[in-house]
Structure 1
Amino acid sequence: MDSRVESTGLRAKPVAYIFSEDLVKISSRLPSNRNRSFLVYSLVQAYGLLTKCTGQAPQRFLVVRPRPAGKKELLAYHTHDYLEYAMNQSSDAQHLLGASEFGLEDDCPMFHGINDYITQVAGATLTGAAVIRNDVSDVSICWDGGRHHAKKAQASGYCYVADCVLAILFLKRTVPSAQPLKKPRVMYLDLDLHFSDAVSQAFFRPGSTTAAQVLTLSIHHTAPGFFPISPLASLPDVNDPTFDPFTLSVPLTAGASAKTFLRIWPIIEHVKDIFRPDFIIVQCGLDGLAGDPMATFNWSLGGEGSLGWCIHRIVHEWQGKKMLLGGGGYNTPNAARAWTYLTSVAGGIPLSLDADIPEYSAYLQFKPSFTLDIPAGNMQDQNTEEYLQTIEATYEGITSVLHSRMVSSTL
């Protein structure tokens, strides 16, 4: 993607918030999350987070208008046949016969405006990637992105376009102006309840013995029959002939809470420190938060080990440039709460979780609490001490292999 975003020249770069009315309008048609995009952006606006500061106060956010992705940009990963089918609004019987082949049924039905949805969401995420690659900002946010189940030639899991993969492919290109020329390293960290099957598979190199430019790490729930079914969703085994230390998973059992995330977080930090990414893409799916209809994890928004705590550490303590994407999350008011709060965290002006929801047109959507917080519920955390020790012991071996690969790397 040839970015049309130019540097702002600001000494302290503001966080780039990717937004346009067209993007919100088309994203709000997504069958699995109708009107979610509208509610998220309206709450961000209601708190005044994107208001430009004047005088001596620094500008915290830069609103960047995305442009739709072109066909060539989409073809960087997707197949021509998939794009032709998905973006053809024909309803004739012969056309509909191909729906199963391309995954455009069941959880991914065709819908009015799918053509614009694919180009707008891909374009928005690519714009967010261009903003950090071109040094306009060190952090970008695109809550309409994060579609981590979309495959090269198939829609899946409410995802129609592989914007995460497209962004990784874009960021891993050598920057022509960089001296000396360097192949950027990209770390993809997925916090969604569901495994990032399509993204992980796209960069999986079974049995490889060399270093890679891309590392994917997914923290998720896995259980028999739980979507998506993938061998890569399991705890990696360094003795498996197909083991790839750059395609990693941390599967958690039901009830995972902030306490469990706090426990495993040193593993994530260690992987990051060994890999030393130039760019970090974080998929901030919310379906693991308490109150989500998935009712599988019991994660909270505030406190040690919470989603907010993790994002604060990534944005403000990790080296490298970051892009925050959306993902799952099927309690729409809670999605608005969480991504509004994470926006404030990324901007360095975290809202109080006790803050009242501003009285605006969508105020009644946030009953009964009418506050910003998403506290944990009463679900039992089934991630036992024995299981957590197994994860830690497994990752001692994984990080040893990863370190060896990076030491011998010429990237």
Structure 2
Amino acid sequence: MDQARQVTLVRSAQSIQAADRLPSNKGRASRVHALIDAFGLNTHMEIVAPEPMPDSSLMEFHSEEYIACLFAAANGTCLSHTSQDYDKDNGIDEELELEQFGLVHDCAVFSGMEEHVRYAAGGTVAGANALVRGSTDVAIHWEGGRHHCRRGKAAGFCYINDVVLGILALQTRFRRILYVDFDLHHGDGVQSAFQYSDRVMTLSIHHHDRGFYPNSGGSYDEGKGRGIGHSINIPLRRGADDDTFLRVFSAVSTSILATFAPLAVAVQCGCDGLAGDPHKVFNLTTEAFARSVKTVLGWRLPTLLLGGGGYNLPDSARCWTRLTGVACGRDIPAAADVPGHRFLDEYSPAFDMATDATSMFNANDGETIDAAALAIKHILESQSR
């Protein structure tokens, strides 16, 4: 990788602390950045501190009602107190209102929620704006990538859709944007936001099975209206390994470059498909992510790298630290020792950067992969005519 490439890492002590509070990824951000710094990668990038995003900017995608309820709930109240239609005697109460906006179950209200939301969105948009200004070639924001949230509803541990806000910022300069989603779960919130657009193409490589969240992302999802042929989904079966993942991404991305010709790229690098993740659905190592990101960076387009899922905290830190190194032209081999830092004991017993695959059965055979790639190629060719 060309070391002359300008790389920007978006973070601050405040944004890391805000991300650490997210219940589904508690403490993850601190571990990621501690490992990045332990390898000295911070000295090879510009560090940009994000600003917490104000309501008006959040509402460039999200509804006013959702943002009002989100922050009212974060402060111990709810939207009802601002609504003239609120009437407890008629059965409208705070619990029902929170459910309406998705602020229950996997997206329950938590302490520090407002700071998490404002910094997650502000960090991704800060990275996108750096690309728009041309002050960097690659912008990284590992606390972003919250791809499930809808315009008016939290979903899937995602209280904000910073990805959509980042893409909207990129659109102020770049006419055609490719969004690539490597998360184990379908990038449904981003696809839904741009499903009618022919300026944004979404590519999601994910697990797809009956009852598996978010129950979307079949190969039949192709977009709507002007966006037909711009929502590309690669649903994979259980046990997908590095070879499966790389084979699919290589075939499909080649077709996308030839037909869509993007001018900028946003990549959601959710790493819950790693073999060691508690989901235990895919059987990936960091090699699949590193080689895929190397491919993207080889396109020489303005690139926004974001986080996402990843629930084995040391493995998430390993993966995103390695991808940071790839962006800086300093790839870290799996055999490398984890340097001494405050979370070193969590890398026991091997204390290295490896995320080894297991003996899990791969239900994705070669014929299925080739058929999926061919079907996508036909979709792309049809929408380009």
Q: Could you tell me the TM-score, scaled by structure 1's length? A: 0.86
1:236 to 220, 240, 246: 220
2:208 to 213, 217, 222: 222
Matched, 1:310 2:292: yes
Shift in Å, 1:36 = 0.3
Q: Are the equivalent residues in 2 in contact too, given 1:237–1:394 (CA < 8 A)?
A: no
**SS at structure 1 position matched to 2:379:** helix
| Distance in 2 of aligned mates of 1:282 and 1:201 | 17
Q: Are the equivalent residues in 1 in contact too, given 2:183–2:268 (CA < 8 A)?
A: yes
Matched, 1:95 2:89: no
Matched, 1:248 2:240: no
| Distance in 2 of aligned mates of 1:334 and 1:285 | 12
Equivalent in the alignment of 1:276: 261
Matched, 1:83 2:67: yes
Shift in Å, 1:70 = 1.5
Matched, 1:374 2:359: no
Relative distance call for 1:238 and 1:19 in structure 2 (3 A) is closer
Moved more, 366-375 or 192-201: 366-375
Q: Are the equivalent residues in 2 in contact too, given 1:221–1:251 (CA < 8 A)?
A: yes
Correspondences of 1:316-331 after superposition (within 5 Å): 317-331=298-312
Equivalent in the alignment of 1:144: 143
2:340 partner amino acid: E
Correspondences of 1:153-302 after superposition (within 5 Å): 153-173=152-172, 175=173, 184-205=175-196, 212-230=198-216, 233-236=217-220, 244-264=228-248, 265-302=250-287
| Distance in 2 of aligned mates of 1:240 and 1:153 | 20
| Distance in 2 of aligned mates of 1:301 and 1:282 | 15
Q: Are the equivalent residues in 2 in contact too, given 1:238–1:397 (CA < 8 A)?
A: no
| Distance in 2 of aligned mates of 1:15 and 1:237 | 34
| Distance in 2 of aligned mates of 1:81 and 1:243 | 27
Equivalent in the alignment of 1:57: none
Equivalent in the alignment of 1:332: 313
Matched, 1:390 2:371: yes
Relative distance call for 1:129 and 1:241 in structure 2 (3 A) is closer
1:301 partner amino acid: T
Shift in Å, 1:273 = 2.9
Relative distance call for 1:13 and 1:243 in structure 2 (3 A) is closer
**SS at structure 2 position matched to 1:157:** coil
Relative distance call for 1:14 and 1:242 in structure 2 (3 A) is closer
1:196 partner amino acid: G
**SS at structure 2 position matched to 1:107:** helix
Equivalent in the alignment of 2:114: 115
Q: Are the equivalent residues in 1 in contact too, given 2:177–2:264 (CA < 8 A)?
A: yes
Shift in Å, 1:319 = 3.1
Matched, 1:131 2:122: no
**RMSD between aligned residues:** 2.0
Shift in Å, 1:65 = 0.9
**SS at structure 2 position matched to 1:97:** helix
The gaps in structure 1 that reach 5 residues or longer are: 1-10, 52-59, 176-182, 206-210, 405-411
Relative distance call for 1:144 and 1:237 in structure 2 (3 A) is closer
Equivalent in the alignment of 1:41: 33
| Distance in 1 of aligned mates of 2:18 and 2:331 | 29
Relative distance call for 1:191 and 1:237 in structure 2 (3 A) is closer
| Distance in 2 of aligned mates of 1:122 and 1:243 | 25
Q: Are the equivalent residues in 2 in contact too, given 1:278–1:320 (CA < 8 A)?
A: yes
Relative distance call for 1:85 and 1:64 in structure 2 (3 A) is same
Equivalent in the alignment of 1:63: 47
Relative distance call for 1:192 and 1:377 in structure 2 (3 A) is same
2:175 partner amino acid: P
Relative distance call for 1:387 and 1:69 in structure 2 (3 A) is same
Q: Could you tell me the TM-score, scaled by structure 2's length? A: 0.91
Relative distance call for 1:352 and 1:263 in structure 2 (3 A) is closer
| Distance in 1 of aligned mates of 2:180 and 2:263 | 13
Equivalent in the alignment of 2:84: none
Relative distance call for 1:238 and 1:217 in structure 2 (3 A) is closer
2:234 partner amino acid: V
1:113 partner amino acid: G
Aligned length: 367
| Distance in 2 of aligned mates of 1:167 and 1:312 | 21
Q: Are the equivalent residues in 2 in contact too, given 1:237–1:243 (CA < 8 A)?
A: no
Matched, 1:74 2:58: yes
| Distance in 2 of aligned mates of 1:69 and 1:280 | 22
Relative distance call for 1:397 and 1:63 in structure 2 (3 A) is same
| Distance in 2 of aligned mates of 1:124 and 1:139 | 14
The gaps in structure 2 that reach 5 residues or longer are: 79-87
The percentage of aligned residue pairs carrying the same residue is 35
Shift in Å, 1:389 = 2.8
| Distance in 1 of aligned mates of 2:201 and 2:346 | 39
Provide Cα deviations, 1:299-354, integer angstroms capped at 9, x if missing partner. Answer: 1112xxx1111111111x11310010000000001001110111001100112221
Provide Cα deviations, 1:80-110, integer angstroms capped at 9, x if missing partner. Answer: 1111111111258943431100101110110
More helix by share: 2
Provide Cα deviations, 1:170-221, integer angstroms capped at 9, x if missing partner. Answer: 1112x4xxxxxxx62111000000000110011112xxxxx71111110000
1:347 to 304, 325, 328: 328
**SS at structure 1 position matched to 2:206:** strand
